[in-house]
Amino acid sequence: MIEITINKRKISVEEGTTILAAAESLGIKIPALCNHNILKPYGACRMCVVEVHANGEKEITTSCNYEIHEPIAVFTDSEEALNTRRGVIEMHLARWPNVPAIKALAKANGVDKPRYEHPLKNESKNACVLCGRCVRVCSEGIWEDIITFAGRGAERKVSMPFDKFYERCAGCGACAWVCPTGAIQVTNEANHPVRPKMIRNWGMKVTSQMITLDDQQCRMRKIGTGNLVEIMDDYDLLPTLNYQYGSHENAKKINSWVWQNEYFTQGLPDGCWYGCSMSCAHAIEKFELKTGPYKGRKVLVDGPEYETIAACGSNIGNFDPHYVAELNFYCDTYGIDTISFGTALAFAMECYENGVITKEHTGGLELTFGNKEAACEVLHQMSRGEGFGMILGKGIRNMKKLFIEEYGADLDFVEDIGMENKGLEFSEYVTKESLAQQGGYCMTNKGAQHDEAWLIFMDQVNNQIPTFENKADALHYFPMFRTWFGLVGLCKLPWNDISPADNAQTDEPHKIPEHVEGYCKYFTGMTGIELDSDKLIRMSEKVYNFQRVFNLRLGYGTREHDRVPYRAMGPVTNTEYESRQERYDKQLKEKVGIDPESMSTDEKRLKLREYREDQYRQLQDAVYKRRGWTSDGVPKLETLKKLGIDFPEVVEVVKRYPDV
C-alpha cells in the first residue's frame, strides 16, 4: 500500500491505483468525459487534469491514467489545475456548444462561454466529441473493431471501414450505451421489442460485468465452460472411470489451462450468438485427425466444452487432450451427443473390465478404460451402424437389457453402474455426496441432466439446504426457473456464469437476484407483459406439469421412473468405498449412528446403501409434496386447477392414478 494525499487528505492505496479512482474513493469528484468505469483509462479529453507533487517536482497531468507508484500529493482544484481544465473545457465548448454533457461540465467548472470562435464548430446537441468510448468498448469490451477513428486532425471521426456499413456489426449497441452525447443511437430495432431501452440497459449491464469481472470469475471469454475441469476435480466431482471417483491425478492433463494455452487458437467472440459478450464457445484450428474417414486432414474443432472434456476424457479414463478433441470432432460430425456417447462408453468399459462383456461381444475391441483408439473406433462403427458401435449407439438403457437378457450379466451390478434415468445418459457430475443433486438429476421430466437444477454446492459445500423440505424447495424453484430459459429460448449462462460485484450483499445470493430481475426485464421489454420472479416460476410450473402429464401419458412419469442408479448415490463396489473410506466411515458414525470399526467393507457399504436409499425415498416424498403431486409423483387435480391447466384431456390422464 502507498500513502498519498489528495487535497491534503490522507489515503492508502494499492500500487497501480489511478489518481481518479483514489479520489473517487474519498468522495472527491474530478470531471472526466472520455473515462468510463468499464473501459481502460485513455486520457483523451484531458478534463481530469490535476496538480501532482512528486519527488519535489510539480506537474499538471491527467488523473484517469496516472498510476500511483510512490507517495505523492495531489491537488484536484489548485489554481493551475483549474485553469488548465477550464481551458480544455472552453475548447470543447467552442467546438460543440450545444452538447448537454459539455455544457454541464462548463457550468460546473465556471466556464461561461468560449472567448473565441472555433473553426470546426458543430452546433448539434448530439455531436460526436471524439472521446473514443465507443471505439474502445467495441475493441476492449466486445472484442471487435467494427468502428474506429478515421482521418487525422480536423478530419478525425468515428467510422466503420471505408465509411460503409460493416456487416460484422451485430447491433449489440454497446457503443451507443457508452456514448456520452447520443452521437450514436440505435434506430433500427429489428425484432420490434415493445420497450427496447429496457432490454438494452439490462444487456449492457451484463456486458459491463463480462468486461470487468469475467477474468477474475469464470474466464468464460477465454476458456468457456472448460474452466470447470480442475474445479470439479478439486471438489471430487469430476466423473472418472464411469463415475466411480470424482478426481484423478491425470486430470491436470486435460484441465482448462491445457486447452487455453495449447489448443484453443481463436481468441475471438464465436458465432454461437452473434454479438454475445460472453462468447463462451472456443475452437481449435488446423487440428490434424488421427483416425476415421478424415484421418490426416486438418480440421476445425468446435470446442470442447466441460461436459465433453469430462465425458470423452476423465469418465472413460482418457487423459489425452488430442483424443478428447478427436472424439469431440467426430461426435459433432456424425451428429452424436458427446455426453451420451462418453457416458455410454464409460458404462461399456466398466462392463468390459468386469467381464460382463468380452472381446467376443465387442468384435475384438479391447474396451478398457483409457483405450482412446478403441473409443474412436466404437464411434466410427456407430456412425456406420456396425459392430459394437451399433450396440453402444442404442444407449445405456438398451445395453443393460441386452447384457442382462442375452449376455447373462448380473442384473443388480449392471443396473447399479448404468448411469441413465428415463433412458437419458447422465451428464458429467458426481452426485454421490449431494442428495439434492440426485433429485436434480432424476426427479426430472427429461431424464438425467443438470439443466434443471445444479444444487451440489448449495447442498454439499454450503450445507445451505439441510432438511428434506429445504431440498424440496430448491428442487421446486430451480427446475422451474431453469425450465423458463427453454420456454423463452434464452441462454442461461449470463444468469450464473457471471455474477454482479455486489451480489454478496443480496438476500439470496445463490439465486443471483439482479440477473433474475434482468431476465424478467428482458421478457417485459420484448413483449410488454409485466413479469416478476413469482410470475416467471408460475409460467414454468404450468409447462413443467404439462410435461409430467405428457410423460404419464406415454407410460412414464411416476415414482419408479425417478429411480437413481446406485452409482449416483454411493459406492457400488468395495474398491470405491475404500477409496473414500474416511468420508464414508464418518457418515456411518455421525449420520447412521453405527460404529464402523469392527465391520467389513461389505457390511459398511451395504449399511451406507440402506441409509442413502432411504434418504432418497424421503426426498421423493418431500419433493412430490412441494410440487403438488401425489406420493407416486403424479400431479394432483388441485395442482392442475391452480395452474389453470385442468383441461379434460389432462385430467383424464391423471385420474387413472390413485390419490390425485
Instruction: Please report, as residue ranges, which positions from 31 to 60 form the binding site for other proteins (by CB under 8 A).
Output: none
Stretch that binds other proteins, among 77-85, 318-326, 364-372, 507-515 (CB under 8 A): 507-515
User: Measured from the CB atom, is 39 or 456 closer to other proteins?
Assistant: 456
Please, what is the minimum distance in Å from the beta carbon of residue 268 to other proteins?
Answer: 22
Cα of first residue to Cα of last residue in the chain, in angstroms, is 67
- Residue among 464 and 573 whose Cβ is closer to other proteins: 464
Nearer to other proteins, 61 or 343 (CB): 343
Q: Which is nearer to other proteins, 49 or 218 (CB)?
A: 218
Instruction: Give the torsion through C-alpha atoms of 247, 252, 255, 261, to 10 deg.
Output: 180
Among 3-11, 222-230, 358-366, 536-544, the segment contacting other proteins (CB under 8 A): 222-230
Using CB under 8 A, pick the residue from 172, 218, 276, 327 that binds other proteins: 218
Shortest Cβ distance from residue 98 to other proteins (Å)?
42
**How many angstroms separate the CA atoms of 114 and 116, rounded?**
5
* Segment contacting other proteins by CB under 8 A, of 3-11, 385-393, 508-516, 559-567: 508-516
How is 187-237 classified by DSSP, letter by letter? ---TT--SSHHHHHHHHHHHHHHHHHHTTTTT-TTTTGGGGHHHHHHHTT-
- The residue from 146, 512, 552, 619 that contacts other proteins (CB under 8 A) is 512
Whether the Cβ atoms of residue 68 and residue 17 lie closer than 8 Å to each other: yes
Q: Are 179 and 133 within 8 A, CB to CB? A: yes
Number of residues that bind other proteins (CB under 8 A): 33
- Quick note: the x/- pattern for other proteins over 161-200, rule CB under 8 A, is ----------------------------------------
CA distance 280 to 225: 7
Q: Which helix (H) or strand (E) holds 420?
A: strand 420-421
Assess 504 for contact with other proteins (CB under 8 A). yes
Give CA 385 to chain center in angstroms.
Answer: 35
Asked whether position 463 contacts other proteins by CB under 8 A, the answer is: yes
Q: Is 467 in the site for other proteins (CB under 8 A)?
A: no
Rounded to whole angstroms, the Cα distance separating 434 from 463 reads 10
Q: Pattern of binders to other proteins over 234-253, x per CB under 8 A?
A: xx------------------
Contact pattern from residue 314 through residue 343 relative to other proteins, giving x for each residue in contact according to CB under 8 A and a dash for the rest: ------------------------------
String of contacts with other proteins for each residue 532-571, x by CB under 8 A = ----------------------------------------
Query: Of these, 35, 225, 381, 587, which contacts other proteins (CB under 8 A)?
Result: 225
| Residue among 55, 187, 216, 598 that touches other proteins (CB under 8 A) | 216
Q: Please give the helix or strand (H or E) that residue 153 lies within, else none.
A: none
- Among 17, 427, 524, 620, indicate the residue that binds other proteins (CB under 8 A): 427
- For the CB of residue 493, give the shortest distance to other proteins in the complex, in Å: 8
What is the rounded CA–CA span in Å between residue 169 and residue 80? 44
Which C-beta is closer to other proteins: that of 505 or that of 598? 505
Distance CA 140, CA 138 (A): 6
Q: How far apart are CA 510 and CA 641, in angstroms?
A: 31
Write out the three cell numbers for 622.
418431500
Binding residue for other proteins, selected from 51, 90, 144, 230, defined by CB under 8 A: 230
Q: Does 120 bind other proteins (CB under 8 A)?
A: no
Query: Per CB under 8 A, does 505 bind other proteins?
Result: yes
Q: Within 10 Å of residue 396's Cβ, how many Cβ atoms?
A: 28
Separation between Cα atoms, residue 544 and residue 236, nearest integer Å: 31
Please state, in angstroms and rounded to a whole number, the distance separating the CA atoms of residues 323 and 329.
Answer: 10
Q: What x/- string results for residues 299 through 318 when contact with other proteins is judged by CB under 8 A?
A: ------xxx-----------
DSSP string, 17-86: -BHHHHHHHTT-----SS--TTS-----S-TTEEEEEETTEEEEEESTT-B--S--EEETT-HHHHHHHH
Write down the least CB distance from residue 231 to other proteins, Å: 5
Q: Does 217 interact with other proteins (rule: CB under 8 A)?
A: yes
Find residue 284's DSSP bridge partners: 301
What residues from 438 to 457 belong to the interface with other proteins (CB under 8 A)? 450, 454-457
Q: What is the C-alpha to C-alpha distance for residues 370 and 201, in angstroms, rounded to an integer?
A: 49
- List the one residue from 347, 388, 429, 519 that touches other proteins (CB under 8 A): 429
Residue closer to other proteins by CB (options 62, 483) is: 483
Kindly list the distances between the CA atom of residue 655 and the CA atoms of 273, 635, 648, in Å, as whole numbers in the listed order: 44, 10, 10
Phi, psi of 237 (to 5 degrees): -120, 0
Q: In the bound complex, what is the minimum distance in angstroms from residue 334's beta carbon to other proteins?
A: 22
**Contact residues for other proteins, defined by CB under 8 A:** 216-218, 225, 228, 230-231, 234-235, 305-307, 427, 429, 450, 454-458, 461-464, 478, 496, 499, 503-505, 509-510, 512
